Amino acid sequence: MPGMDSLTAIAPFIFIFGIMYFLYLRPQQQRMKQHKAMIDNLRRGDTVVTAGGVVGRVAKVPQSDDPEITVEIADNVQIRVIKSTLSEVRAKSQPVDTAKVG
């Protein structure tokens, strides 16, 4: 049967794609969802860490459609940061994790 030969030829590719989906694509989609939720729940006073390693406190969160926030990195020193570059958001009362430091 000619139909069975083509099915057995593509079966390994379907199997490999299924494995790639569950090991790579699906977890990546979940991480993207978590990152979006983290950015959407951003509040004034939260401590944030940017992808470049800058740590600061959120000074101003404009409208939800604005891609930038204002972060205070020292007394009277504020910078504008693109929301999508935030790698971590710590709540106001959340202490620094000493296991990650040093």
Condensed to tens digits (0 to 9), the pLDDT of residues 29-74 reads 999 999 999 988 888 999 999 999 999 999 998 877 889 999 999 9
What one-character-per-residue DSSP string does 9-56 give?
HHHHHHHHHHHHIIIIIHHHHHHHHHHHHHHHT--TT-EEEETT--EE
Q: pTM score, two decimals?
A: 0.64
3-state secondary structure (DSSP) of residue 4: helix
Q: Which CATH architecture has domain 2-90?
A: Roll (2.30)
Q: What is the largest CA-CA distance in the chain?
A: 77
- Residue 1 pLDDT level (bands cut at 50, 70, 90): low
Digit-coded pLDDT (tens) for 69-94: 999 999 999 999 999 999 999 876 55
